Amino acid sequence: VRGRDDAWTPRPVLILAGAATPGSRTRWVADLVTRRLRAAGASDRLWDLAETPLPPRGGGDAAPEAAAVKELRVWAATAGALVWVTPCYHGSYSGVLKNALDHLCVDEIAGKPVGLISVGASLTAVQACEHLRAVARTLGCVCVPTQSVVTGSGHRGDTPSLHTADNRDVIVRIDRMIHELGALAGATAALRGPSRHLPLGHDYERESAC
């Protein structure tokens, strides 16, 4: 991967680490993505939902928006691409990641490329990526083709081994994902901005806090 070939710099890539507990394997993988982005010449911003949790998203706009939510929305709006890293829980992505995505508005991220990574005990964690792909589509995002699943049945706090048969190609896949993010960030520029085409097919964001 050559960072200078990629069209998305200088806009940072926003990495969401979607585990609720500090020191998670999800965070370890998010840190790995950060290092690979830097090696590719990209800038990054990491939001760890364990370190900076968000309040539950409710409907409507009655409650004042928390400072952390405002900040995340700015980070999302200014990002050139996103990477969502989630633990796999019961065959899907985490609740805290969904809550964070529910705080975002289509206008902030529509048309931006997204890379998906799930972290689980086994390859069943691939389902979390598949489910996130549907969420990304609803938000108008463009998922890159390469996703990554990091497995390992160790205990909390263990570092996932990149030397197991399942994980051996994780870095190669992350690098390919980063390359695809860069290529698509330029190609999808025309899809961004106010949601003229309403990927949601409904104007409910206008009725809520967005």
The residues of the shown chain that bind ligand FMN, judged by CB under 6 A, are 19, 21, 24-26, 87-91, 119-122, 124-125, 156
Q: How far is the CB of 171 from ligand FMN (least distance, A)?
A: 18
Q: How far is the CB of 161 from ligand FMN (least distance, A)?
A: 12
Instruction: Say how far apart CA 118 and CA 161 lie, in whole Å.
Output: 15
- Contact (Cβ atoms closer than 8 angstroms) between residue 119 and residue 29: yes
Whichever of 115 and 160 has its CB closer to ligand FMN, that residue is 160
Whichever of 135 and 184 has its CB closer to ligand FMN, that residue is 135
Instruction: Say how far apart CA 76 and CA 151 lie, in whole Å.
Output: 28
Q: How far is the CB of 140 from ligand FMN (least distance, A)?
A: 28
Q: How far is the CB of 98 from ligand FMN (least distance, A)?
A: 15
Whichever of 19 and 81 has its CB closer to ligand FMN, that residue is 19
Whichever of 21 and 78 has its CB closer to ligand FMN, that residue is 21
Q: How far is the CB of 93 from ligand FMN (least distance, A)?
A: 10
Whichever of 109 and 119 has its CB closer to ligand FMN, that residue is 119
- Contact (Cβ atoms closer than 8 angstroms) between residue 26 and residue 108: no
Residue whose beta carbon is closest to ligand FMN: 120
Cα–Cα separations (whole angstroms), residue 182 to 40, 79, 178, 197: 10, 12, 6, 24
Whichever of 171 and 198 has its CB closer to ligand FMN, that residue is 171
- Which of 132, 85, 137, 87 shows the shortest CA–CA distance to 112? 137
With a CB cutoff of 8 Å and minimum separation 6, the contacts of 64 are: none
Q: How far is the CB of 127 from ligand FMN (least distance, A)?
A: 7
